[in-house]
C-alpha cells in the first residue's frame, strides 16, 4: 500500500469518527424531494479477508424501494471499496429503472473525486465509470453524508458475508428495520 493510500485511509477514518472538518453536516437521513429516489451506499469489511457493499433506495416518503448486498471474497482498500460500492449501486439503480436519483455516501473522498474537487489516482477509472453511468439517469447527483445518515447501508455492507449477493424490494432484512424506522422520524 502506498503512503498516499494510507493517508487517504486515515483521513476517511477520521472523517467517520467526526474529527475533521466537513463541508456538509447532514447527521440524520433526510428524505429526497418528491419525484427523486435517494440511494445510500456503503462498503464495509466482513472479516479480515472480505469486503461487502450495501445500498438502500428510498422514496420521498421514506418507503423502501430496494436494498442490496454484494460480497467480495477479498479485502479491498477502503477508498477503492467505497468507490466500487457506489458504482455497483449505480448499476443496480439503472437496472431497476430508477431515473431520478440522489446517491449518498459517507466517503467524502469518493464524493470529492466525482465532483472533480480532488483526484485520487487509485479510483480514477472507477470515478470515470460512475460519471458515465450517471448518463443513464434523467437526473443524478452525489452527496456526502455522515455515517449517522447512512446507517442502513452501513449495516447491509457489514452483513454482505451473510447475505452474499442479494436484492430486496419490499421486505428488507430484519437487521435494518430499526434504522429504517429511526430514519423515517427524520424524513
Look at the block and give the residue holding cell 458515465: 132
| Full-model pTM | 0.84
Size of the chain in residues: 187
- Alpha-carbon span 46 to 118, nearest angstrom: 29
> Does residue 10 surpass a pLDDT of 90?
no
- Alpha-carbon span 140 to 144, nearest angstrom: 14
The residues spanned by each domain of the chain are 40-184
Per residue in 165-177, pLDDT tens?
999 987 889 999 8
Q: Which of 27-36, 73-82, 83-92, 177-186 has the lowest mean pLDDT?
A: 177-186
Assign domain 40-184 to its CATH architecture. 2-Layer Sandwich (3.30)
What percent of the chain is predicted at pLDDT more than 70?
84
Cα radius of gyration rounded to whole Å, the chain: 15
Higher pLDDT, 4 or 56: 56
Per residue in 90-113, pLDDT tens?
999 999 999 999 999 999 999 999
**DSSP track, 3-59:** HHHHHHHHHHHHHHHT-S--S----S--PPPTT-EEEEEEEEESSSS-EEEEEEEE-
CA torsion angle 135 80 146 47 (round to 10):
130
Amino acid at each position: 500500500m502506498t503512503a498516499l493510500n494510507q493517508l487517504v485511509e486515515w483521513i476517511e477514518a477520521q472523517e467517520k469518527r467526526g474529527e475533521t472538518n466537513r463541508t456538509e453536516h447532514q447527521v440524520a437521513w433526510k428524505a429526497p424531494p418528491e419525484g427523486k429516489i435517494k440511494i445510500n451506499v456503503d462498503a464495509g469489511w466482513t472479516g479480515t479477508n472480505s469486503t461487502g457493499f450495501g445500498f438502500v433506495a428510498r422514496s420521498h416518503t421514506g418507503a423502501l424501494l430496494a436494498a442490496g448486498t454484494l460480497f467480495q471474497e477479498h479485502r479491498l482498500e477502503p477508498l477503492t471499496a467505497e468507490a466500487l460500492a457506489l458504482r455497483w449501486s449505480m448499476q443496480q439503480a439503472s437496472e431497476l429503472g430508477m431515473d431520478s436519483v440522489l446517491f449518498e455516501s459517507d466517503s467524502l473522498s469518493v464524493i470529492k473525486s466525482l465532483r472533480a474537487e480532488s483526484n485520487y489516482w487509485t479510483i480514477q477509472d472507477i470515478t470515470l465509470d460512475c460519471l458515465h453511468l450517471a448518463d443513464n439517469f434523467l437526473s443524478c447527483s452525489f452527496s456526502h453524508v455522515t455515517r449517522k445518515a447512512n446507517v442502513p447501508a452501513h449495516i447491509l455492507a457489514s452483513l454482505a458475508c451473510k447475505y452474499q449477493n442479494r436484492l430486496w424490494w419490499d421486505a428488507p432484512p430484519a437487521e435494518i428495520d430499526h434504522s429504517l424506522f429511526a430514519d423515517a422520524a427524520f424524513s
